[in-house]
Amino acid sequence: MLIAALLGIAVGVLLGLTGAGGSIIAVPLLMWSLGWTLPQAAPVALLAVSAAATLGVVNAWPQGSVRYRAATVMALAGMLMAPIGLWAAHRAPVHLLALVFAVVLLGVALRMWRQARRAPEEAKMGWASVQSDGTELKGPICQLNPDTGRLRWTRPCSMAIVSSGALTGFLSGLLGVGGGFVIVPALRMVSPLPFHSAVATSLMAVALTSAGTVSLFMLSGKTLPWMIALPFVAGAMAGMLGGRRLAPRFAGPHLQQGFAVIMAGVGVMMILKSLL
């Protein structure tokens, strides 16, 4: 139980300091520390991700930065795809799942490195920081209604948001990852939402999708190791609160790049272990 709590704290602190992508390290930490396979670690990691993301939503909600309609649509699309990911996860060879996870990990590390170099002001915010920076982008697909400030749900906009949610759900079921590293850049690419709003919306979508995926896992007849899962979740929530307090002092492009290097190293190690 103590090991699980310490692992959770580590994940939570990383999540609070580094932002989207910080929680992806939960799965390899559980695998290596407890000797689990990826399918064993995935639901426990998702439970912690859902709890930590819910904390972020609670913090962001009073500011009005959560686009709850978009988050709900993405979550519903994700929950429809999560069973397919779960089905594939329980039928694919374990070493192949680990290889796919490693490739995703390398992709997240590369994106985090590039973000820290191209947008250092966003690296300072992190995933847990949802304060407005006052900037907006002109999205090529989704636009805001100038009278209400809400997204205009045109067909192309709806398809883009549903697609990002569906991909997140599939990855949640397959690999046990929250998917914030998919949703945030997708929202920034297709909409004029500022960074803080994309992050807050992602938190809600991730919280709902992760919780739904864990529920589907349990409804399929599987059980969670609660003696490990609960301390891990509690540690992740405490760690995220601590990480958010430390973020104004430590969060920034250099921290993001350092964590990206660590994730890349973990990804390479997983690839070598899978191939050997």
pLDDT digit string (tens) for 62-113? Answer: 888 899 999 999 999 999 999 999 999 989 998 899 999 999 999 888 888 8
pLDDT for position 20: 56
**Looking at the 3D structure of the chain, how many domains does it have?**
1
Residue 221, SS3?
coil
pLDDT for position 55: 87
pLDDT for position 108: 86
Mean pLDDT by 10 residues, the chain (276 residues): 89 75 80 90 92 87 90 95 93 91 90 78 51 49 83 91 94 88 86 85 91 92 91 91 78 78 90 84
Rounded to two decimals, what is the model's pTM? 0.85
Who contacts 221 (Cβ-Cβ below 8 Å, separation ≥6)?
none
- Eight-class DSSP state of 148: T
- Eight-class DSSP state of 131: -
pLDDT for position 137: 46
Domain hosting residue 124, numbered range: 2-275
Measured over the CA atoms of residue 244, residue 206, residue 55 and residue 148, the dihedral's sign is positive
| Rounded Cα distance, 138 and 245, in Å | 32
Tokens of 60: 């962001």
pLDDT for position 220: 86
Q: Which of 53, 11, 64 is nearest to 206 (CA)?
A: 53
pLDDT for position 22: 61
